[in-house]
């Protein structure tokens, strides 16, 4: 196991202008002299994130970011491509569109949508606004830094920093938008207006997608909406700084998403997103104007494994920064206390439920406690 890691201690200090300085030791230390917990705590207390390491001129990845070699293999299967579904003629080609959504959701769990109705200028402004926040002065970002789980607006690096097997090379601004949005003054001024505008378009697109997915399952168009699947919304705005040693770490570890559905806006030009399909990684390169849609864990649970919540990851890259905004539809952001289990209308012809009913707080607590450990949370809730 020792050969999978580089033993690199880092000392953290701050200048008068609060710029993070990282001094790399050129000596290799033994495992007994390496204090992982202390190094993680020192990094977290700077509140400058991975961006702070880059600003300090780091040339090597700190040890707690380094992943085992087998988890960052970059071999990619080019035989498959994620489907792209054109939503332009959805009214006149409803049946065809539903069928394409069904096929993509049952096989890949991922698809891209074009002509989705979200204006290009809104998408561009959202990415620009997040970039402005992430590249603002550290003192400004510190105002939003917290690891408290119940804040509507929070900024940090790695929500599971203290529990994950290895940290990921990214910083995140996390925003709980619906059903109880934050006050405007609670949001960073760099992205305040565009966050609400972008979220409005995400809500509209999400409702259309839940209708298509309901029909793909053979249900009424409003079935998933009535189950409050589109009620709770949160935005995870990720900033992936350029990495000096991308072969040693990941931008985001292998995982599946915990909610019902995710709408992802990728970086305009820098790739890195990969989907696991038939035990092979498939690239999802940036596609101008497109949004990436993926089924999340709770929708797989509710569909009794008919729809697939597929594992995915983001590679680290020497280029950067890479930006992305993930819109999570997850009712645990609302005060709803209803349990979710396999939809009874799908349990026909003697089909038995694969999962037990679960309250969303219970699912979220388990998901967050295990962190991005490369294992599906769904296995924990099987009957």
pLDDT in tens, 49-61: 999 999 999 999 9
Confidence of residue 33 (pLDDT cuts 50, 70, 90): confident
How many CB atoms are closer than 10 A to CB 15? 9
- 120 CB neighbour count, 10 Å cutoff: 9
Q: Are 87 and 114 in contact (CB under 8 A)?
A: yes
Instruction: Name the average pLDDT for the chain.
Output: 89
Give residue 136's pLDDT: 97
pLDDT band at 335 (very low <50, low <70, confident <90, very high): low
Query: Under a CB-based contact definition with an 8 Å cutoff, are residues 287 and 84 in contact?
Result: yes
pLDDT bucket at 239, cuts 50 / 70 / 90: very high
Alpha-carbon gap, residue 216 to 307, rounded angstroms:
10
Contacts of 95 (CB under 8 A, 6+ apart): none
d(CA 366, CA 81): 32
> What's the whole-model pTM score?
0.90
How many whole angstroms separate alpha carbon 222 and alpha carbon 44? 44
Q: Compute the distance between CA of residue 313 and CA of residue 259 in angstroms, rounded to an integer.
A: 17
pLDDT band at 214 (very low <50, low <70, confident <90, very high): very high
Neighbours of 366 (CB within 10 A): 14
pLDDT tier at 222, thresholds 50, 70, 90 = very high
User: By three-state DSSP, how is residue 14 classified?
Assistant: strand
Tokens describing residue 39: 């190094």
Strand partners, 237: 173, 325
Top-ranked range on mean pLDDT: pick from 15-19, 144-148, 227-231, 261-265: 261-265
Distance CA 308, CA 330 (A): 16
Could you tell me which residues are beta bridge partners of residue 312?
Answer: 255, 275
Residue 76, CB-side half-sphere exposure with 13 Å CA sphere: 16
Q: What is the DSSP string of 18-60?
A: --EEEEE--S---GGG--HHHHHHHHHHH--HHHHHHHTT--S
pLDDT at 14 over 60: no
How large is the average pLDDT for residues 145-172?
93
Q: Taking 70 as the threshold, does the pLDDT of residue 22 lie above it?
A: no
Q: What integer is the mean pLDDT of 321-338?
A: 82
Q: How many Å apart are CA 135 and CA 112, to the nearest integer? A: 29
Give the residues across from 20 on adjacent strands.
Answer: 14
Overall average pLDDT of the 168-197 stretch = 96
DSSP H helical segments within 221-371, as ranges?
Answer: 223-226, 297-302, 360-370
CATH architecture of 77-381: Sandwich (2.60)
DSSP lists the bridge partners of residue 155 as: 145, 173
| Arithmetic mean of pLDDT, 309-336 | 88
pLDDT digits (tens, 9 = 90+) for 76-134: 666 788 999 999 989 899 999 999 999 999 999 999 999 999 999 999 999 999 999 99
Domain boundaries, the chain: 77-381
Give dist(CA 380, CA 365) in Å, integer. Answer: 12
Give me the pLDDT at residue 334, please.
Answer: 56
Cα 95–Cα 256–Cα 63 angle in degrees, nearest 5? 150
* pLDDT reported for residue 77: 64
Alpha-carbon gap, residue 33 to 339, rounded angstroms: 48
Instruction: Report the pLDDT value the prediction gives residue 79, as an integer from 0 to 100.
Output: 77
Q: Which residue has the higher pLDDT, 117 or 69?
A: 117
Phi, psi (deg, nearest 5) at residue 352: -90, 150
Q: How many CB atoms lie within 10 A of CB 218?
A: 12
């Amino acid at each position: 196991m020792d050969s999978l890691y580089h033993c690199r201690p880092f000392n953290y200090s701050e200048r008068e202008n609060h710029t993070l300085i990282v001094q790399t030791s050129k000596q290799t230390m033994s495992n007994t002299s390496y204090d992982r917990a202390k190094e993680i705590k020192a990094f977290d207390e700077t509140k400058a994130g991975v961006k702070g390491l880059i600003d300090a001129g780091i040339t090597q990845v700190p040890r707690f970011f380094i992943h085992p070699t087998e988890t960052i293999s970059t071999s990619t299967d080019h035989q498959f491509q994620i489907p792209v579904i054109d939503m332009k003629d959805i009214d006149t080609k409803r049946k065809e569109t539903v069928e394409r959504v069904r096929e993509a959701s049952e096989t890949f769990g991922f698809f891209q949508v074009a002509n989705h109705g979200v204006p290009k200028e809104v998408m561009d402004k959202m990415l620009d606004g997040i970039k402005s926040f992430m590249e603002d002065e550290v003192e400004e970002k510190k105002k939003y830094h917290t690891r408290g789980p119940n804040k509507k607006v929070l900024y940090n690096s790695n929500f599971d920093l203290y529990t994950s097997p290895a940290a990921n090379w990214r910083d995140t601004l996390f925003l709980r938008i619906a059903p109880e949005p934050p006050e405007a003054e609670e949001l960073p001024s760099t992205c305040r207006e565009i966050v609400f505008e972008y979220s409005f378009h995400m809500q509209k697109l999400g409702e259309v997608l839940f209708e298509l997915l309901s029909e793909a399952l053979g249900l009424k168009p409003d079935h998933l909406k009535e189950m409050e699947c589109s009620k709770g919304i949160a935005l995870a705005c990720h900033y992936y700084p350029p990495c000096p040693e991308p072969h040693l770490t990941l931008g985001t570890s292998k995982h599946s998403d915990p909610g019902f559905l995710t709408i992802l806006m990728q970086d305009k030009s820098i790739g890195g997103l990969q989907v696991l399909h038939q035990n092979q990684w498939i690239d999802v390169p940036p596609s101008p104007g497109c949004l990436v849609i993926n089924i999340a864990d709770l929708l797989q649970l509710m569909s009794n494994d008919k729809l697939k919540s597929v594992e995915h990851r983001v590679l680290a890259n020497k280029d950067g920064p890479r930006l992305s905004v993930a819109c999570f539809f997850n009712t645990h952001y609302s005060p709803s206390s209803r349990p979710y289990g396999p939809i009874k209308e799908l349990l026909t012809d003697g089909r038995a439920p694969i999962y037990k009913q679960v309250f969303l707080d219970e699912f979220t607590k388990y998901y967050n406690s295990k962190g991005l450990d490369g294992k599906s949370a769904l296995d924990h809730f099987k009957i």
